[in-house]
Structure 1
């Protein structure tokens, strides 16, 4: 198993946001985490990436406990995150943003190869490499956020709401690129409000409600699950 989360409790001050969740991700999978706002999806990603320290429980990467390891060391191990809201550096150029994603890497030849791959995935980033990131469209900024995370050469990519605020055609394009990234060997954990698109892309899924995982299944099974359809897929659609 590439990633395992066991009995994870995470809180903000005295308020517990995750109540002992368990999840696992195999090498090569796309696993999606679904749930309403406030369910704890982003908190789970932040705990995996090291931005939040769990109060209880264990996170293992390739069977190695990592929940006490700082975030930057988890990046070096192969865990990268493209955060909700993109969080690009608007006053830096596209090129500078991408270079920041490779801050843990020292082999410049391999970094250049990764950059070439990202330019193939997102040609607009190559075209606008010297443009200030803050002047990009929302979709282009999302591409940059994903590209910046890929510059770390991750084994597993954590994506938080990549379709947020994007037009349907652009969402379709982003999800096609996520499939290509996965086909290239990158495991993906996807937090996504667009449940239908996420389940069509993913191999497996988890459903969270108020800090707990209430359902786990293959993605195709979740797509036809009546509870999931009613809660996240618009009923009979």
Structure 2
């Protein structure tokens, strides 16, 4: 469904991604792991068109993405949940969700999607008239995921969905990501919490300083002693 081919991204003169290759098949959850500064977020931003590659390519179902503006990429069925949630705090939950559907022409489908989001996250339905800025961190994360789902994505990019959240909330959000995937949405997940991410994912990539150093099934990565000592030590 998605392939990154020898992707190079630079910020000014600094190379952030040094020619990475990744593949994502339809229906998968693929997890990208690595320390801060490994290039994980840059990879997602390149897929969603927020940064342009210096060289290499990104193909979605065989069509080049790297030449398109970000809004066209959303129209093709790719939505990103950015790191740090970034909901519109002065708008209500409902208004935030409506903004997620800005590329959609199908109002009936939008309504159905909103109802589905309310079954995934019942607390959002309760708070739908509330300003997003007054929600807890976990509720804002749910809203950010819901807003991305309103674009009817076929591929959902999640950047650090568990950041700064309590363990119980993380568990609930990861369970919902599984349900979203089971409904037919392919997921790419960037996550510091390597253990939780690998338990959820089918396959994973480990990045170090702008390079992919390991690619394997999630099960093999969980069992890999190097991954264990570097990323899984001390996480319950």
Structure 1-normalised TM-score? 0.98
Q: State yes or no: 1:64 paired with 2:43.
A: no
Report the 3-state secondary structure (helix = DSSP H, G, I; strand = E; otherwise coil) of the residue aligned with 2:206: strand
> Aligned-pair distance for 1:66?
1.1
Change (3 A) 1:128 1:236: closer
Distance 1:234 1:211 in 2: 22
Q: State yes or no: 1:221 paired with 2:220.
A: yes
Distance 2:223 2:80 in 1: 29
> Aligned-pair distance for 1:235?
7.0
**RMSD of aligned C-alpha atoms?**
1.0
Q: State yes or no: 1:78 paired with 2:77.
A: yes
Report the 3-state secondary structure (helix = DSSP H, G, I; strand = E; otherwise coil) of the residue aligned with 2:116: helix
Change (3 A) 1:122 1:235: closer
Deviations 1:172-209 (A, max 9, x none): 11100000000000000000000000000000000000
Q: State yes or no: 1:133 paired with 2:132.
A: yes
| Count of aligned positions | 236
Q: State yes or no: 1:166 paired with 2:165.
A: yes
Report the 3-state secondary structure (helix = DSSP H, G, I; strand = E; otherwise coil) of the residue aligned with 1:164: coil
The question of whether the paired residues in 2 share the 8 Å contact of 1:229 and 1:236 is answered with no
The question of whether the paired residues in 1 share the 8 Å contact of 2:18 and 2:210 is answered with yes
Distance 1:125 1:170 in 2: 14
Q: Which runs of 5+ in 2 are unaligned?
A: none
The question of whether the paired residues in 2 share the 8 Å contact of 1:48 and 1:59 is answered with yes
**Residue in 1 aligned with 2:50?**
51
Structure 2-normalised TM-score? 0.99
Distance 1:29 1:47 in 2: 20
The question of whether the paired residues in 2 share the 8 Å contact of 1:18 and 1:212 is answered with yes
Deviations 1:58-102 (A, max 9, x none): 000001111010110010000000000001100111001000000
Which residues of 2 match residues 178-189 of structure 1 at below 5 A? 178-189=177-188
Deviations 1:23-75 (A, max 9, x none): 00000000000000000000000000000000000000001111010110010
Distance 1:107 1:200 in 2: 35
Distance 2:105 2:123 in 1: 26
Which residues of 2 match residues 189-228 of structure 1 at below 5 A? 189-228=188-227
The question of whether the paired residues in 1 share the 8 Å contact of 2:195 and 2:235 is answered with no
**Residue in 2 aligned with 1:87?**
86
The question of whether the paired residues in 1 share the 8 Å contact of 2:7 and 2:20 is answered with yes
> Aligned-pair distance for 1:236?
10
